[in-house]
Structure 1
């Protein structure tokens, strides 16, 4: 039987998180980075000094399958009731339901941390992620056309919102 658990990120997780993230940087439009991140850059993106913002690794039978996090949406104080949610899974395990489990888990954490709203920012080519968030109650609230440029093409992003 498969057991999925979540563990708050530590420095020991950073190399594997880096590997997962950099796969998406170099091979997809899911990330808008165009160059691989080093360990220090990964650390600053997943280990926030503000304890409201959390990152968890997703473990299946004690093996890391990905990670999920809540980050600051914007740095102005009025936005403090809102967080940005992101999920990255190992590319070879997509479609097993781990994204849904991670989303439910992080929403529970977000409520405990006092968030009212979560935002997911998604490249509109990423139909799998778009579908995941929509199936779980997120509504598209913004569309930014041709806001990114990667792999010789202009890319749109959408913002998807859920009020908790």
Structure 2
């Protein structure tokens, strides 16, 4: 009886460990596939339309935030991201392929543009920890006028592109 119990416990622990390891990667892979299906290309900034009740590309998106996203692919080398400065709240978050939030910057830490180079193995200012990931830029825009200004700022100044590895 003890052997069966021990075998059951070992199998349960193995299944649990595999699930904890695999599910975040599956979630991120699914999110990236959905972004790519909607026409986004890797290492290019995409500006998401203002959020409404039908928006669900991002889990529980806020209608007061204007989102821009970049699917990161470091297979060709480091990637540079710039979130153009904004007079209200803004943030840049970087997520690895396993959903880890590896870095987050906001306008209370950095005045003006937030600019980082993402890479692997100490090649850049931020190590992603995986070959693929997602960068998410958020700007607070509480009314139509600030939404229009935030949209103009991001379209003129946000960048996601391959960086010179040197």
TM > 0.5 fold call:
no
Structure with more relative contact order (C-alpha pairs < 8 Å, separation 6 or more): 2
Which of structures 1 and 2 has the bigger CA Rg?
2
* Bigger strand fraction: 1
